[in-house]
Copies of this chain bind each other. A is one copy, B any other.
Amino acid sequence: MSKIKVIVHGFGNIGKNALLCIKNAPDMECLGIIRRKESIKNNPVETLGFKEFPDFESLKAEKGMPDVAILAAPSRSVPELVTEYLALGVNTVDSFDIHDEIPNLITTVTPLAKRYNKVAICAAGWDPGTDSVLRALFEAMTPAGTTFTNFGRGRSMGHSVAARAIEGVKDATSITIPLGGGRHARLVYVVLEKGVKLEDVEKRIKADAYFSKDPLEVKAVADSFALSQVADNSHGVVLERIGASGAASNQRLSFDMRIDNPALTAQVLVSCVRATTRLKADAYTLIDIPPVAYLLGDRMEHIHRLV
């Protein structure tokens, strides 16, 4: 059986973890990594034996045509990359995580996927991603009710990036603390620029749209090393729903997950790589995908084992 040929575009935390997941998938092989020329030159990284290429053409010339590209690049660059890869005849899997813009992404990508006869899985990961599947399933089980998504405790990438952009902040890490009922507090550790007062930075963070609605605590640490010691990749979520099935109230559903964040995100992306080879040409989020499509091996085996 020929293996699924995968490339990894972008090589941060997610890209690196995706490679480790591909290595554990007996039905896949990685043809290589695509990173910007300047990154390859100026920011050498351990690539686990896989070759880096500055662009698709050079990868294709040496390694041949891939089946699927994992887009492990920042969300902002995802729409352009999806368009580009679909036009090249490559399925895509991305972890686009700007929730409000996901419907637009799907609307844009759908006609492209159909035109190029390829599959694009968008907004994969755990939230958006597997949490989305659980929220849908919970509603199918109890149509009347409310679901709360309680994130954390763990480092929020989005909030950390927002805090780093605040004037007077040299470096920052934002930790999400669940308060219950889908509400969260933010604990932000900052490395201050020279001569900047903590109270001024705290005011600016508090004024930022990312932080203005939640209880906030800001603490200063000496440097980026100290910052790296206040949070690792641990994260988690509790999804809770209390609702009714027909006339029966008090149906209680709860999902609790404690994980290495980039590892789980990358694993979901890699399971989606497999799904792209089993779906017809279209754009998908995870609520659009039959769960069996993610799994290695034969459908009937899975029905026997899991159903």
Contact = CB atoms under 8 A, between A and B. Distances in A.
Interface of A: 17-18, 20-21, 23-25, 99, 102-103, 106-107, 123, 126, 128, 130, 132-137, 139-144, 245-248, 250-260, 263-264, 266-268, 270-271, 285-292, 294-296, 299-300, 302-304, 306-307
A133 B141 CA distance: 12
Contacts of A294: 136-137, 139-140
A135 B260 contact: no
A303 B141 contact: no
Given A245-B259, A259-B245, A294-B136, A307 B128 contact: yes
A18 to B, nearest CB: 8
Overall SS of chain A's interface: helix
23 contacts: A23-B246, A102-B303, A102-B304, A130-B140, A130-B141, A132-B306, A135-B306, A136-B294, A139-B294, A140-B271, A140-B294, A141-B268, A142-B264, A143-B271, A245-B260, A246-B263, A246-B266, A246-B267, A248-B259, A251-B260, A253-B259, A290-B290, A291-B291
Given A246-B266, A268-B140, A259 B255 contact: no
Contact of A286 (B103, B260, B307): B307
Given A130-B141, A143-B296, A252 B257 contact: yes
